[in-house]
Structure formats: C-alpha cells, structure tokens
Structure 1
Amino acid sequence: MSCRAVYRLTPCHASCGVNGLGRYLLTLGAFVAGVCLLQQQATLPPLLPLLLAAALAAGMAWRAPRLRLPCLALAALLIGMVWAGWHAQVRLADRLSVATEGRTVVANGHIDTLPHATRHGMRFGFRPDSGSGLPSRVQVSWYGEPPPLGVGERWRLTLRPKRPHGVVNPGGHDLERWMLQNNLGATATVRHGERLPGHAWRAGIDRIRAQLGERIRHTLGDAPHAGVIVALAVGEQSAITPDLWQRFARTGITHLVSISGLHVTLLATLVGGAVGALWRRVPWLASRWATPRARLAAGLFTALCYSLLAGFGVPTRRTLLMLLVGGICLWRAAPMATSAVWITALAAVVLFDPFAVLAPGFWLSFLTVGALLWLAGNRDGRPHWARAWAGTQWAATLATFPLLVLWFQQVPLASPLANAVAIPLVSLVVTPLTLLGLLDPSGLLLWLAERVFAGTDWLLGWLAALPYATWNLPTPPAWMLAPAAIGVLLALLPTGVPGRWLAPLFLLPLFLIRPEPLPPGHFRATVLDVGQGLSVLVQTRHHALLYDTATEGMAERAILPSLRALNVRRLDTLLVSHDDNDHAGGVQAILDGLPVERWSGSLPPTHPARAASVPYAPCIAGQRWQWDAVHFEVVWPPAGHSARDDNGASCVLRVANGQTSLLLPGDIGRHQEAALRDTALAPATVVVAPHHGSRSSSGGTFVAATAPEWVAYSAGYLNRFRHPNRIVVDRYAAHGAQALRTDADGALVFDFAETVLAHGWRQRVPRYWSSALVTPQ
C-alpha cells in the first residue's frame, strides 16, 4: 500500500523523519479521540483520576522507550478527555438554575447575534449583564410583533426563562446538544422589553454584518434568492426558505450556500494571486519583501477578514487554522507533511472548541478535505483536468458517504454532478460578485450574483426532481464505520495498488445489513416527542401507520427525520384524529415528504390537505383491517356523530394482536369516554393519555375500564396547560399503570408481543448534557 498520502510534504525542504511524523500524527489523533470519547459519555467522569493516569502514562513513555508510542497515545487520549470534560463542566455550571426556571426575571444586556424571523416572531442571542441570575448567554424568543431589533443593542428585558430542553427522537435534531455547543445556558420568552441607550462594543463586527445584510436585502428586494446572497456575504442563513434547503440537501450542495472552507480558500487564493501579480511589478516593493511572502500574507489576511464577516463559524475556523498552519510552514520554509497539516488543523479546532466534534458538519468538512489530500498524495503524475475533477468529486462523495448514511439515512446521488456545476459557479462567480457588490453603489453586481445563482438553482431543481436523486438506506450500527473507513481509504488508492480490490468488501455491510423485521403478530408503537402535540408511529412486519402529525414545524423537524431513521419509506395509512393544530398541523408536510397510500381522519371538508391527490376518507367507528396478524379498529366516532368541538370528534384507534393492545384516543373528553364505556370498551395494555393528560379527560371510569399496564403522556416541557395534570397522573398510578412521558423520556417505544416492553429514547441514548436535566414535575 502506498503511503505517499500520509508522508507527502508541503513544498518545503524535507528534514523530519517518518518515525517523528508518525508519533506526531498518533499523538494529535489520540488527543482528538479523547475529546470524542468524552463527548459520548452518559455522565461526566471525575477528572482528577484521568489527569493522574495521563501523568502516569507520560512518565512511562519517558522511562520505557519500547512502550513510548502506546504510552504517549494513551496520555494524549486521557488529556483530551480531561480537556473536554473540564469545558463541559464549565458549560453545565453556566446553565440556568432549577430555582430560576419559570420565574420572571428582569435583565439588562445586549443582543449578541443577528436577530432572525421565525414563524411566530423573532429569535436572537442575548448576553445579560453580570448579576442578573441568568447564564452568560440566553436564546430569546420574542413572539408577536416585536419592535425593531439590532445586534449590539442594549435592552432591559422581562424574561420567562427555561433550562435547555428539546425534543429527543430517533434521527432528530438534538437541541440540547446544539445549545451546549453554542454556549446557550437557557431559553427565554420576552414578556416586556425596553430599549436602553448605547451599544455593546464587543458586537462591533456583527453590527457591520447586520448593516451589510440589510443593504443586500434592500438592493435585491423580493428576489427569490436574496437570502442566499446574504448568506454568502455575511453568513446569515435565516432568509433561505425551507424549499431551497430541501433542494440543496437533495443535491448535496448545502455547503455551498454557507461561507464554507471552500469559499474562504478560493477567495484567499484569488486575492493572494492578484496581490502577488501586482507586487512583483513594483520593484520597490519586491526588493523589500519577497513576492511569495506578500502573496501569502495577503491570502491569510483575506481569509481572516472573510471568516470574521461570516461570524467565525466552525467551517471557517477549520479552514483558517489549516491555512495558518500551512502558511507558517511556507513562511518558515520548514517541512511539514500534508497529513500533519490536516491533523494539526483538526487538533487546533478541537483544542479551541472541544464541542465542535458534536457537529456533523465538522466531520463532513474535515473528512472531505482529508480525502482530497489523500487522493492528491496518491496521484501518479499530472492527470487530465477532467479526470482530476471527476476524481475530486468521487473522493469527496465517498469520504462522507458512511457518515451521511449514519446521520441522515440518505445519500444525494445527484451530488457529484450538482457540485461539478455549482462549485465553480458559486465559488468563482457568485461569491466574488457578491463581495464586490458590497462595494458597488449601483447594486448591479449584487443583482448579477443573484441571477447567476437563480440559473444554478434551476439546474439543481431539475436534478432534485430526478427519480433517484437521493438514495435512502436504513440506519447502520455505529460499528460499521470502522470497516467503512478502511474501505474508503482503499478505494481512494491508485489503480493497481495491492489490496485496493478489497474496498467493496469493507463497504458492503453498509448496503447489506438491514434491521430485523418484526415477527408476524408483533407490532411496535413509537410515541414521538413532538412537544405539546401528538404523533404516534405504529409498525407491523410490512406496514406502517402514522397517527396524528403534530404541528407543521414538528412534522418537518422531528417526525420526518424520525421516520427516515426508523427506515419508514412510505406510509400505508395516515390517520389524523381531529382538526387541532397540535394534531393536524403537519398533515401537508407529511403528505409532501413521504408516499402515503391512503389517509383518513375527522377533518372538515374545508381543510386544505383534503385537496391532496392521496385518497381521503372520514374515520368512522367500525372500520377494521388487519396487517401481519395485527388487528386495527376505529372505535370512535360513530357514524353521524356531531361533536360540540373538534376534540369530541377525535378518531379513536385500537390496535391489538390478541394478547396485548394499544389505545390511541386523541383528545376525547369525559363525555366521549362515557359513551365508549357504554359500548363495552375493552381493556388496553397501553393507553396514550387522552388530551395529553388534561383534567378534562381520563375520568375514573375510563381509567378503570381500560386498566392499562402503561400510560404514555405526550406533552411539552413546562407547557402552559400544565399537562399532564397531577390528578390524572395519580389516577392512573392508583390503578397500577406505569407512566412514561415525552417531556422527560423523549420518544416512547412500546414493543407489543405476548407482553409489552417499553423504554424512552433518552434512556436508550443517554448523554451527559441531557442527564443533567431535572425531570418535569
């Protein structure tokens, strides 16, 4: 196997040995591995024993030369764990205290991020002054129509804070992890706000970014891709519509609509090249400072300025550090292997931000760069430009393939072609036009940049509409990453290298291993964590039913990603209990996001989703069907029933296999419960509490008639309705029912066979940042 990719040197003079380079790579790699290992822990370990063990391993490396390499690696790994653990302790200590949660707090401070619009108002980062009793940074939501807000402005806000808490589902976004990464110790809603005089000095660069973004929006008006131009200029992505994000994801060019490392590098190269060309034409300058150094300094300065303009996110930090490492090497004319540049930049980013390893974009970015360096080091001669470009696309796609399958369960097959067109257009045309347009008072260059991207997006739309634009795969076990990584490295070796033919064998498990199907007569119910709403997935061996869709936002952010993670590629039935937003708000998103064979519910004829092409039928008591020896029956509402409100018209579904059963009662109240009891309602092994555990439901006779072994509460964290009601919780407990609740346990999984096995998703995938939360009372 060729090792040129590992030991290839930058264009400097070689002097370091292979053994020294190997130790360097192993030490930094072990440090990064230690940080990663710490971030996977369910609870934070004590740091002092780890620190003592690291010192012992370092001492053994010094005293025992034969054990130097493994001891050095062990010491670096333990130091990485200590470093990440210390930062984690600091972040967790800065979280909102339990005593302050839910109380009204008045705090002075300043807005420290660019405010962006949401469906219901504005959201921004807020940095309170010391002594407020709040964490150092808070994510604030101001609902309704707030006054004009600007980054750096000082405000006195009356806040209702909460501790970091998000929905937890298979395949879903982990909000608590994201808040930990971004040093946000609480969320809060504004009750009242008063503008204070002055601005915060530390937000000076962000104020410039906000002014530039506003200028672009004013110049482009309602142009369809104005949000993309703002994102390329100042890194603010909130104006990019969900439809555009979906198209970018299906074609694999999401990285191009943010200020990524690719843009920073290309811009630095262009400016450095231009400065170098001018520099050597001025003898006075060239005689005082060598042209290569002037070119290098100009490129690095450009990279720094553009990174600051972008908000200094992880992709730009990674690129800037990598450029700095390479730049120092070139400046000093000292040798450094490309692999050493890569590992140094990786370790430097992790050193400055140990939480960066929690972001998928961090790994996708670094692996892409690493694969390109590996490919470049294994090339023989100078291939034709077309072959080189195709090889680059192949390397970038292959390097990220295993992680895309693990995290997103899909691979954009159109990505190589889309990137082949979009990278040169966006990086070499749209981005330079955008940045030059910031200096153009006429606005012509900004308009031209927007039009060029519009043409690019037209092509992306065509590619995204292709039948096989994306390839969906089931979530693989984490252990598959190791053989897949070996397969990727082998596949990127030059043709003819011994062992390269083994690459498909190492990659094959990603395609062949499938989750074990449920046996006939067994079924699984997953009560998804959707906040103050409801959505339940019922799966048999060959079929899937979704009961309720929560709100539109939850359908997009939680339900659809969870269905992909659970290998649900189509729905045989979508059943919507009634026309409340927390149950039916996401219907259209589900119909657009997945193939649905049929759907039914208690929705009025005027509901917009009933105009969809998927056949709709009202649910009526007595409807029955059977899938894989599992029986489904609608037990409410009866034909011709007229309810006083939407809740009373809820479709009630019973699912049974002859030994265990599930009851999904929607939001029925006590009148409907009494009517069901009169129809000899059968007991149920598991009941999803009606109306989220409201006091207006789950009457004593209903609880006694159903006699559940388990009760599931789907409710939002510290919701304003105080669901589930304490009286209802005690009533189920008095009848012997064990309780699980989505606000405390995440998504709830019930496996129905001869008996029922139940667990919460937080219990299945514990992490230290969520275990620090207090169970809602």
Structure 2
Amino acid sequence: MWKNIVLPAFCVGAIAAFFVPAQGVDWLVWLGVLLLVLGFIFYKINQLSWFVLALVAVLLGASYSAIRTQSALSRQWQAAAESTEFHIKITGLPEQNGQGRTRFIAQATAADGRRYRLLFQDYQPREWRVGEHWRVKARVRAPIDMRNAVGFDRQAWALANGVDGMATVGKTRFRLPEHSWAGINGIRAQMVQNWQNVSMVYPQGAALMKALSVGDDSALSAAVWAALRPLGLNHLISISGLHITLIALLAAWISKKIMRLGKMPRRPRVYALAVAWLAAVVYTGLAGFEVPALRSLLMLSVFSWSWWRRGQFSNWQIWWTALAAVLLYQPMAVLAVGFWLSFGLVGALLWVLSFRLPETGERGFWQHRIIVLKQATRAQWAATLIGGVATIYLFGLLPIFSPVVNAFAIPFFSWILTPLALLASAVPSDTLKWLAAGLGEWTIHLLIILGNYLPEAEFAHVPMPLFLLAILGSLILLLPMGLRLKPLSIMMLAAFSLYQPPPVSGSLNATVYDVGQGLSVLIQTPTKNILYDTGTAAAAEFALLPNLRAAGVDELDTLILSHHDDDHDGGFPSLQKNIKIKQIYAGQPEFYPHAQLCVGNWTVDDVRFEFFRLPENLQIHSKDNELSCVLRVSHKGQALLITGDISSATEAQFIEQYGKNLHANVLILAHHGSKSSNSSAWLRAVSPQVGVASSGLGNAFRHPSADVVRRLAALQIQLLRTDLHGGMVFYFTEQGVKYRLLAQDKFWWQSKPF
C-alpha cells in the first residue's frame, strides 16, 4: 500500500506546498471541495481507509516541505544590504571567468556568531583556494533579485541550491592561519590547475574540458552560451544527470568486460551495479556534491537499488520512490527548473513505454536491433514532445533543431568528450590534455557556427491552464491508440503553441520592468511598441527579453537608448540580436549603428511622443548623464515623463526652458532616485502623482536616496520602487492613471514584492 498510495501522496503534498499563495483563502476553498469530492468517491467504493491514509500522507508531505523551507528562509540574509566583517572558510571550488572575476561558496561567520552559506564574488584578480580561512569585509545582500511576470527568480534558485546570501568582497582581506581539509574540492581545484598551460592555446577547449570533468564552466565565453541556447545543448555543458547516468553505464560495461577476462564471479550483475554506482558517486563528487548533481545521484541510486531488487517494484513505483527520496533530501528542489525537466522527461519515457505490449517471439540479431531502435525512437519522440512543451512554457523559446542536434551531440559528449575530459584530468599526461583541449576547441568552434545559423522559435507566455492542457494532450498523443482522442490532443497543442496575449487595453500602457540597478520601460499603444533603455546585459538576458517574449513583443518600432551607460544600454547587443528593431533614437547616437539623435516629436494612435532637449551650446561640455534622452508621452491629458540620468542642474535648465510643459502624472525618477537629481523644484514643476525609482535591491548606491524619499513624501507624491515592488505596468486613460504590479500574485515563500 505504501508504494501505491503513501509515496505518491507524500510527493504530491510536498510539491503542492510550494504553490500556496501568500494571500487569499481561495486555495483553501478549492482544497476543501476537492477533499469532499474524493472522500465521497472513496466512501462509495468502500475504500475510505485508503483515502484517509492518502490525505495524511499529503498533509505530511506539505508540512515537511513547509518546515524545511521556513527553516531555510530564516537562515537567509535579510533584505537590507550592508558591509560586514566575516570569518570565511572557502568550501566551494573558486571559479574565475575571463575578466578575472572570481566566485566561490564559503561558510561565513559574522561578528554576532551567525553562520551563513554565501556566494562570494571578487571583482579583483586575486587568488582564492579551497579550504583557506580569511577575514574579509564584504557587502552582503539577500538572495533576492528582479521580479517581473516571468524571468529568472534568484530567490527560488537560492533556496533550491542552499545559498543564504550574495556577497561582494571588499578591497582588503587578511589570511588566517587555519586551513580546513579541502576534500573533494581540493582535488577539483588541482584538476582545474592542470589545464592552465593548455588553456593559453585552447582557451575554450580547456574551458569545456573543465566544465565536463569538474563542473567549472566559468571560463566559457558569452558567445559559447549564446550559441548553445538555439541548439538546446546547455544541459550538456555541465555534470548533469545525463552525464552521471552514462558514466555509470560506461563503468558497468567496462567492469563486465574485465570480469569476462578472468573467472566470472557468482553474481556479476551485482558487481557491475556496484561499480556503476561508485563511478556515479565519484563523478558527482567532481561536481562538488552540489544540489543538482546530488539530485541526479539520488535518482540513480533509487533506480539502481530497485534494479538490484528486480521484480519487487514496478517502473512507476521506482519513479515515485526516486521522487520521494529527492524531496526528503531537499524539498526546495521543486523550485529548480532541472527538477521538473529531469523527472518530467523520465516520466514521459515511462509513459510512452508502459502502455505498449512487449514484443514476443524469437529474436535474431537484426530483430533485436530493430526493437531497440523502435524503443529509442519512441523515447526520443516522447522527450522531444514533453520537453518542447516544457521549454516553451518555461523559457518562451524552442530550439527547432534541438532533437537533431542532440541526437548527435549527446553520444559525442557522453561517450567521447566526457570520458576524455575525465581521463585527461586524472592522468598526468600533457599530450592527452592537448588532444582533449584541441578536440574541445574544435567542438566549440563548430557549435558557435551552428548556433549562429540555426533558428529558434519564440512564444508568448501561456496561462497555466493552457500549459496543463498541452501536457495532457501530449500524454494522449504518446499513447499507442491515443484513446481515440488524438485529433483533440493536436488541437490542445495547437492552442498552446499559437497562443497570443490579449491586445493592449486602452490607448497607452507603460511597463517599468524590474531590471535591477538599471532602467527599461516598454511603452505600448494599440499598434506600436517603444522601448526606452535595456538595462544591463545580464538584466536583458534574464529579465527583459523573457518578458518581451512573454508579452508577445517580437518587434520594436522604436528603441530609445538614453545615454551610453551600461545600466541603460548594456542589453542593446542582446536585444539587437534577438528582436527586430525598426528605428533607434539615442542621446549619444555615435555609439550605435543607424541611430538618430533624440530630437523632435510624433503622434501615433492619438498618443504624443516628445523629446525635450537642451540647446546645443549647453551640451558641449556635458557629461554622459546630462545627455540623456528626456521623453514625454501623453494621451488625453495624462502623461509619462522619463529622464534617464540627468542631474538637478540639468533639471533646472529644463524648468527654465519648458516650464509647465513638463507636467506628468507618472515620473520615472532621474538616476534611479539619486539625491543629485530629483530636486524639489523639479518635482514641483513636473507635479506627478507617482514617482518610480528603478533601482536594484540592496544596491551599493543606496538608491533611491533617503533625501529623495523625503522630498516625495513632503509633496505627497506616491513612491513606487522596483527594488521593493518589482516590475509594474501603468494604464493611462481619460479617467486617470492606474497601475498594477507584474508579480502581485506571489507564493508564501517569496519575499518580493515586499
């Protein structure tokens, strides 16, 4: 009974706990209705005891997840960012990228005795070693970042990986005499060091070998990652569950060959299984026993144990047992995308093979190969279909040629590159390292070429019910007969893939995206999409582009780049590569191809766009910030004003030149709310109802400034902050301006919006 009822119910409860909303009781009503319906059904079939047992298991799973997660939240660094002195012990492998920046995991003890597991970053080219103890002063912030409708959720990532905070090391550090046993990470560090000479000639080849052997992918360039995405190969550039499984299979195969050379032991299968499992443990150790790799090892351990106890468990019982083991070890793994992809794809393979009768009769050599080919084809089809639906929903992208590329890349990476990387890292042979790095460099070069030419499809973000229907349609389509519902399942998938968000409501909407310490505003009319600034390169990749795709924006009529500063135009290269841009305006057009100076005005869809600019004689000696494009957008008496990074001196000049024409209902505060801007005179001249500070949580500049906050309060101007509230959208109508937060619906474990 426990295999069929308790384990599935426990897993359902443990997973469902993470989807309880922070506010509202609607979920309680629906849960009560569901339990009443289930109770009535089980009562009618005289199985009430099973229902009670399942209910207890569900509640136990939910309670376990809630308790473990609440404990992890209590250990995390709080939202306020501050510089603090720590005694740190480096426990993770220090990884250094091409720009000299180093990141590492360390156990940090604060002056008050509290301990944290922090992800440190050092922007100076200094050496750090596993096991070393240091006294450092670091600026620490909570593991919370940008919040929009979609995009990367740092808090979910931190919980899933056991990280309590993000820290930036200061300039000074003091080495302490203690030195802890480096353990497996010391071995990893030595293996990384062994590739140093080779990396001078084959930088990306050596970086690939380090990624495959010890999970250190920090030296791979941005061009490599950009090329891997349209190929759907990101999962191969790490010590993933796939690699761990295949290395285990390779170890088992080698052990069988060795056993056949001598006297065959009594139970060869047990010996091969033990060797495979040990190989998986060692390879997981080379990944630093990080949570994703440990999750894969737990899955493999359960499958190995059940295979050893062959005949006592069905395939689905094994799957539920593996899921329960992972949830018991780390319930927050539910918050990781890899968790869903791993178990989802394995579940899809079980689904497609479970409903087919085994082929009987005598099998010759070719008949056996044909059966294996059929199973492999079905498995590939299931993985492609379910994985494609999940990828579209999670990322808004679909690498079109991913199945074909993976069909060749998975065997090549798993059977050739990964064993070669491990062998070259372990054997003290420079010749082997040069050979491996050279092959890796050639591989990276080929992948970059393919990635630059092979397309990927973009999709709008679909509602959850439509995604669940698409999964249901996929499962029906994978059945041999499809329950005679295959036409309906195809319609479900078509509705999912062709979904488009509703058109812009009203004549003017403005979305202020949360891009951290930066700025990006999407202005939409019924027929036009205008983007003001892009945020940093990282913000564009992790926040801006996913949200533009989610909103169905695949083309920009106008891109406005306020001035040449990384937090305003850093995402321009990514944006230019991924989205068609018809026209570019810029405060410093000389830095962008085919850009025009921010001058003039135009009207579209009854919405007026105006650039405000100082006379040329006042701009000759201006700094970059003062050259920012100042844009006013108005519709039927309501207006939005965006000012880039201008200072209070420039604000005074604008007041003198434009006067009452500056009025706006919504003001994007200049320079993220800096006290050197947003003067009281400027705020009175604009006279907004709402001021928006686009700044990063715990930013080093302390934006928005306390002085600016007081000025806004004194003038009774409502302050909205992306660092606390996340992204937000404003609706401009004849009746006034309304707004809503992009992430207003949150789960109980999420801190932002505050």
Q: Determine the C-alpha separation between the residues in 2 that align with 1:319 and 1:391.
A: 23
Aligned to 2:93: 114
Secondary structure of 2:750's match? helix
- State yes or no: 1:144 paired with 2:124: yes
Secondary structure of 1:297's match? helix
Residue by residue over 1:27-84, the C-alpha shift from the partner in whole angstroms, topping out at 9 and shown as x without a partner, is 32332222222222344999xx9xxx9xx9999999x952233333322221111011
* Deviation for aligned residue 1:490: 1.3
Residue type of the alignment partner of 1:81: A
Q: Unaligned stretches of 5+ in structure 1?
A: 1-19
For 1:657-668, list aligned pairs within 5 A. Answer: 657-668=635-646
- State yes or no: 1:95 paired with 2:104: no
Q: Determine the C-alpha separation between the residues in 2 that align with 1:503 and 1:717.
A: 44
Q: Residue 528 and residue 117 in structure 1: after superposition, are their counterparts in 2 closer, same or farther (change >3 A)?
A: farther
* Deviation for aligned residue 1:661: 1.3
- State yes or no: 1:655 paired with 2:618: no
**Do 1:751 and 1:757's aligned partners in 2 also have CA atoms closer than 8 Å?**
yes
Aligned to 2:233: 253
- State yes or no: 1:732 paired with 2:712: yes
Q: Residue 182 and residue 329 in structure 1: after superposition, are their counterparts in 2 closer, same or farther (change >3 A)?
A: closer
- State yes or no: 1:482 paired with 2:468: yes
**Do 1:180 and 1:769's aligned partners in 2 also have CA atoms closer than 8 Å?**
no
Q: Determine the C-alpha separation between the residues in 1 that align with 2:303 and 2:701.
A: 57
Aligned to 1:17: none
**Do 1:95 and 1:135's aligned partners in 2 also have CA atoms closer than 8 Å?**
no
Residue type of the alignment partner of 2:57: A
Aligned to 2:585: 600
Q: Determine the C-alpha separation between the residues in 2 that align with 1:242 and 1:544.
A: 28
Q: Determine the C-alpha separation between the residues in 1 that align with 2:374 and 2:306.
A: 30
Which of these residues, 549, 560, 577, is aligned with residue 562 of structure 2?
A: 577
Aligned to 1:533: 518
**Do 1:536 and 1:547's aligned partners in 2 also have CA atoms closer than 8 Å?**
yes
Aligned to 1:394: 381
Which of these residues, 744, 752, 758, is aligned with residue 724 of structure 2?
A: 744
- State yes or no: 1:763 paired with 2:744: yes
* Deviation for aligned residue 1:122: 2.1
* Deviation for aligned residue 1:151: 1.6
Secondary structure of 1:724's match? coil
* Deviation for aligned residue 1:682: 4.1
Q: Determine the C-alpha separation between the residues in 1 that align with 2:3 and 2:68.
A: 24
Q: Determine the C-alpha separation between the residues in 1 that align with 2:516 and 2:484.
A: 54
**Do 1:430 and 1:450's aligned partners in 2 also have CA atoms closer than 8 Å?**
no
Q: Determine the C-alpha separation between the residues in 1 that align with 2:258 and 2:566.
A: 63
**Do 2:614 and 2:654's aligned partners in 1 also have CA atoms closer than 8 Å?**
no
**Do 2:93 and 2:288's aligned partners in 1 also have CA atoms closer than 8 Å?**
no
* Deviation for aligned residue 1:511: 2.3
**Do 2:208 and 2:237's aligned partners in 1 also have CA atoms closer than 8 Å?**
yes
Residue by residue over 1:327-356, the C-alpha shift from the partner in whole angstroms, topping out at 9 and shown as x without a partner, is 223333442111111121112111100010
For 1:491-530, list aligned pairs within 5 A. Answer: 491-494=477-480, 498-519=484-505, 522-530=507-515
**Do 2:17 and 2:65's aligned partners in 1 also have CA atoms closer than 8 Å?**
yes
Aligned to 1:438: 425
Which of these residues, 629, 637, 651, is aligned with residue 673 of structure 1?
A: 651
Secondary structure of 1:137's match? strand
- State yes or no: 1:562 paired with 2:562: no
* Deviation for aligned residue 1:672: 2.9
Moved more, 290-299 or 541-550: 541-550
For 1:209-608, list aligned pairs within 5 A. Answer: 209-223=188-202, 224-283=204-263, 286=265, 289-379=266-356, 381=359, 383=370, 387-466=374-453, 469-494=455-480, 498-519=484-505, 522-603=507-588, 605=590, 607=591
**Do 1:548 and 1:576's aligned partners in 2 also have CA atoms closer than 8 Å?**
yes
Residue type of the alignment partner of 1:565: A
- State yes or no: 1:617 paired with 2:596: yes
Moved more, 361-370 or 564-573: 564-573
**Do 2:13 and 2:62's aligned partners in 1 also have CA atoms closer than 8 Å?**
yes
Q: Residue 126 and residue 316 in structure 1: after superposition, are their counterparts in 2 closer, same or farther (change >3 A)?
A: closer
* Deviation for aligned residue 1:686: 0.6
* Deviation for aligned residue 1:208: 0.8
Moved more, 310-319 or 351-360: 310-319
TM-score of the superposition, structure 1-length normalised? 0.87
Secondary structure of 1:113's match? coil
Aligned to 1:716: 696
Q: Determine the C-alpha separation between the residues in 1 that align with 2:147 and 2:602.
A: 32
Residue by residue over 1:383-442, the C-alpha shift from the partner in whole angstroms, topping out at 9 and shown as x without a partner, is 455554443322111112222122211111111110011011111111111222233332
Residue type of the alignment partner of 2:394: W
Q: Determine the C-alpha separation between the residues in 2 that align with 1:458 and 1:417.
A: 18
* Deviation for aligned residue 1:570: 1.9
For 1:75-94, list aligned pairs within 5 A. Answer: 75-94=56-75
* Deviation for aligned residue 1:497: 5.7
Moved more, 751-760 or 394-403: 751-760
Q: Determine the C-alpha separation between the residues in 2 that align with 1:630 and 1:444.
A: 67
**Do 1:490 and 1:503's aligned partners in 2 also have CA atoms closer than 8 Å?**
yes
Residue type of the alignment partner of 1:402: V
Q: Residue 207 and residue 447 in structure 1: after superposition, are their counterparts in 2 closer, same or farther (change >3 A)?
A: same
Where do 4+ consecutive residues of structure 1 move more than 6 Å? 56-62
Q: Residue 585 and residue 120 in structure 1: after superposition, are their counterparts in 2 closer, same or farther (change >3 A)?
A: farther
Q: Determine the C-alpha separation between the residues in 2 that align with 1:339 and 1:655.
A: 58
Q: Determine the C-alpha separation between the residues in 2 that align with 1:303 and 1:390.
A: 26
Moved more, 312-321 or 558-567: 312-321
Q: Residue 217 and residue 340 in structure 1: after superposition, are their counterparts in 2 closer, same or farther (change >3 A)?
A: farther
Aligned length: 728
Residue by residue over 1:104-156, the C-alpha shift from the partner in whole angstroms, topping out at 9 and shown as x without a partner, is 5333231111122355732221203587534331222223233x101221112
Q: Determine the C-alpha separation between the residues in 2 that align with 1:598 and 1:657.
A: 22
Q: Unaligned stretches of 5+ in structure 2?
A: 360-367
Please provide the CA RMSD for this pair. 3.0
Secondary structure of 2:47's match? helix
Residue type of the alignment partner of 2:132: E
Aligned to 2:363: none
Aligned to 2:362: none
Q: Residue 672 and residue 322 in structure 1: after superposition, are their counterparts in 2 closer, same or farther (change >3 A)?
A: closer
Q: Residue 693 and residue 136 in structure 1: after superposition, are their counterparts in 2 closer, same or farther (change >3 A)?
A: closer
Alignment identity in percent? 36
Q: Determine the C-alpha separation between the residues in 2 that align with 1:514 and 1:656.
A: 27
Q: Residue 563 and residue 90 in structure 1: after superposition, are their counterparts in 2 closer, same or farther (change >3 A)?
A: same
Secondary structure of 1:736's match? coil
Q: Determine the C-alpha separation between the residues in 1 that align with 2:4 and 2:444.
A: 41
